[in-house]
């Protein structure tokens, strides 16, 4: 299995912590964070890219997808804060070669919390080179 999860998480988390004061960043999904602002960055899919398998069934590339959740509980400006957080993440993911496939708000049971979700995809080689799909 081609594994780049630590590299991706570290790159994004470092940029967020340098940009957003007091942000909580997790590599696991959290339904309701205890501190805000908050981000979860989860590798949701890591599948063999079958087009590049050779006759020995060696995994040469993997199709990888990440899901990001950004949360804010500001009294005013929740949406703007989530969008600013996603802008930082978007820049880091694009710099690594990922493509954003969607980004949209998600309705929360608690109206005091605003949440946006985004998904990113890329094909990554066993040498850890990232290809846009």
pLDDT digits (tens, 9 = 90+) for 64-99: 999 999 999 999 999 999 999 999 999 999 999 999
Secondary structure of the chain in the HEC alphabet? CCCCHHHHHHHHHHHHHHHCCCCEEECCCCCCCCCCCEEEEEEEEEEECHHHCCCCCCCCEEEEEEEEEEEECCCCCHHHHHHHHHHHHHHHHHHCCCEEEEEEEECCCCCCCEEEEEEEEEEEECCCCEECC
pLDDT digits (tens, 9 = 90+) for 25-45: 999 999 889 999 999 999 999
User: pLDDT-based confidence at 133, cuts 50/70/90?
Assistant: low
Model confidence at 47, pLDDT cuts 50, 70, 90, reads very high
What size, in residues, is the chain?
A: 133
pLDDT the model gives residue 54: 77
What is the pTM (predicted TM-score) of this model? 0.93
């Amino acid at each position: 299995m081609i594994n780049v999860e630590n590299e991706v998480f570290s790159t994004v988390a470092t940029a967020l912590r340098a940009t957003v004061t007091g942000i909580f960043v997790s590599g696991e999904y959290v339904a309701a964070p205890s501190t805000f602002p908050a981000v979860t960055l989860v590798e949701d899919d890591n599948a063999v890219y079958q087009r590049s398998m050779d006759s020995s069934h060696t995994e040469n590339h993997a199709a990888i997808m990440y899901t990001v959740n950004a949360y804010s509980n500001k009294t005013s400006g929740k949406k703007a804060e989530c969008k600013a957080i996603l802008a930082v993440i978007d820049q880091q993911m694009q710099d690594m070669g990922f493509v954003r496939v969607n980004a949209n708000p998600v309705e929360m049971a608690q109206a005091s919390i605003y949440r946006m979700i985004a998904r990113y995809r890329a094909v990554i080689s066993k040498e850890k080179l990232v290809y846009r799909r």
